[in-house]
A and B are shown apart, each in its own frame.
Chain A
Amino acid sequence: EIVLTQSPGTLSLSPGERATLSCRASQSIGNNYLAWYQKKPGQPPRLLIDDAYSRAAGIPDRFSGSGSGTDFTLTITRLEPEDFAVYYCQQCATPPLTFGGGTKVEIK
C-alpha cells in the first residue's frame, strides 16, 4: 500500500497570500497519477488537479500542481476567501487508492 504523507497539517494564511501544500509518497507513483481535492464541511470533495498537474474543468488557474515520483505540491498563488478548506492528495496508480491525511488551510 502506498502511504501518502501531507504537510503541514495546518497552514494559517491570510487572503491574498500564497499556499504551498506538500504530499509525499512512500513509493514512486506510477505515471504520476496523483490527484488533489478540496473538501469543505458538509460538501463532497472537489477535484482540483489530476495526473499531478492537470487542472480539472472549471478550476481557477490560481491552483496548480507539480511534482513527480514521490514528491508532489499543490500551490494556490493568491488565496481567495472560498479557498479556506481542507486539501487532500490521492494516488490513483495502485490499489488501494490511498488518500493523504489532509492539510487544513485556515484563515490567519
Chain B
Amino acid sequence: SAVISQKPSRDICQRGTSLTIQCQVDSQVTMMFWYRQQPGQSLTLIATANQGSEATYESGFVIDKFPISRPNLTFSTLTVSNMSPEDSSIYLCSALPAGGGAEQYFGPGTRLTVT
C-alpha cells in the first residue's frame, strides 16, 4: 500500500487566479494520477503524471488548463489555471505502488472553491 498526502486540503480562490496542489507519497510508486470529483459525479481522471516527461491527459483536459509536474517518483503537482467557478471541485491524487498490483491508493483530496 501507499500513504498519500495532499496540500492544501482546501482553498477558496478568486476567478482568474491559479492554484497548485501538491501530492506526496511515502514510498516509490510506478504511476501517479490526478482525478476530479464534482458533486454528484463520478471520479474523472484528468491525467497520468509521468516521471521526467509530460503528463498524459484524458479527453477534455488540456495541459494549459491543468499543468502537471512529477519531478521524482514520490511527488507530483497539479495546477488549476485561470480558474472559474466551474473548476470548483475536489481534486484527488492517486498512486499505483510498485509490486505488480493494480489497485490505486488515493490521497485525502483538495477541496477547491472558486468565487
Q: Do A and B share a complex?
A: no
Chain A contacts to B: CB under 8 angstroms? none
Chain B contacts to A: CB under 8 angstroms? none
